[in-house]
Structure 1
């Protein structure tokens, strides 16, 4: 039986890397995003005008027809983005709203999907940020959204959360990912401190294939890259 996986945010830089990687490992890949990923086997294409409840209902309906009742190995939520701004910034509220829609809404929907479609002992991954482990005065909306995502992950790992039996919920907390957009906006940065997307794809693959390799359920996994080498620490 073909293994199935859902990648929420499949058209972002990390999401696209994951789609390609898991297709190469013979997974049936479903991408959820605002735009289609032509490399995916199945696309659930969202309308950004939908509210949280309608978006969740739309996605569940599409998945019920495409998954044919077969549970998925993992749901990887890598949707998100970045916007700065302190409380005095003219776009503070606008940017904060966007950050919550991208990170918190997608995490809540991914959790709901996991309760329905994830197999027992399956894996749900959410995407937080190392910055959200501390104060973020220059990017309050971003930090708050990522902190909320971390809270969602920890709560889902607790008993009576609605998650499938023996499943795992892990929240990654990268510092900076090595994406084309980051290279464009930070051309003089030391990219040896940026975490390669392929490293994350391989890490997720290991966690999916070998549940014993996963950190403790509910862990926030900080990724720190130095000199091109990435180390994990748990919070």
Structure 2
């Protein structure tokens, strides 16, 4: 395995699965199956690969971060494939929560961020008139991950194993709500 040769026996403090994408459409959309397949590959396969890598190469107590979606907490009739894929990621996180039965290393912490909209250049390009003050800045996520991975003793908000962390941004301020 390529990862094994790169790590040369070392283990990882964290694995961050930030892959994903979006495609809309309801069941009558002409591209429904194509879009569902696309978002499944973007979200579920990448998350499954990350889980497998975590099982083999994550340190005990290591973090395994996934990217879910706040929208997938409910039904997503205008973007069914996307909602299905993100709900599957949520299920994966819950299924990995107990290291004793999930195959992850001892005390590993799988969790997922559930953003509404991330403030990315592509999202700004496609939604220029949207209220960007409700979008979660990538810097917020990066700072959280940095603290949780490298300075956990300074953090009061470490995620619990199996946590689904909804990111709620309003007026440019982001809060985390554990679901």
TM-score (norm 1): 0.73
Which residue number in structure 2 is paired with residue 104 of structure 1?
A: 44
Whole-Å separation in 2 of the counterparts to 1:234 and 1:67: 33
Name which structure has the greater RCO, CA cutoff 8 Å, separation 6+: 2
* Aligned residues between the structures: 175
Q: SS of the counterpart of 1:119?
A: strand
3-state DSSP of counterpart to 1:160: helix
CA distance in 2, matches of 1:154, 1:203: 21
The equivalent residue for 2:172 is 228
> For residues 166 and 87 of structure 1, what CA distance do their matches in structure 2 show?
40
TM-score by length of 2: 0.95
Other-structure match for 1:50: none
List per-residue Cα deviations over 1:66-102 (Å, max 9, x = no partner).
1111001100001010000100000000000011111
2:94 and 2:18 mapped to 1: Cα distance?
17
| Pairing 1:130-145 to 2, within 5 Å after superposition | 130-145=70-85
Two-structure CA RMSD over aligned residues (Å): 1.0
Q: Hey, what's the Cα distance between the residues in 1 that align with 2:105 and 2:82?
A: 30
Aligned residue among 106, 121, 131 for 1:165 = 106
Could you tell me which residue of structure 2 aligns to residue 88 of structure 1? 28
- Aligned-residue offset at 1:207: 1.5
CA drift of 1:215 comes to 2.1
Q: Which runs of 4+ in 1 moved over 3 A?
A: none
Could you tell me how far apart the structure 2 residues matched to 1:214 and 1:164 are? 18
Question: Which segments of 5 or more consecutive residues in structure 1 lack a partner in the other structure?
Answer: 1-60
Cross-structure match for 2:57: 117
Structure 2 segments unaligned to the other structure (5+ residues): none
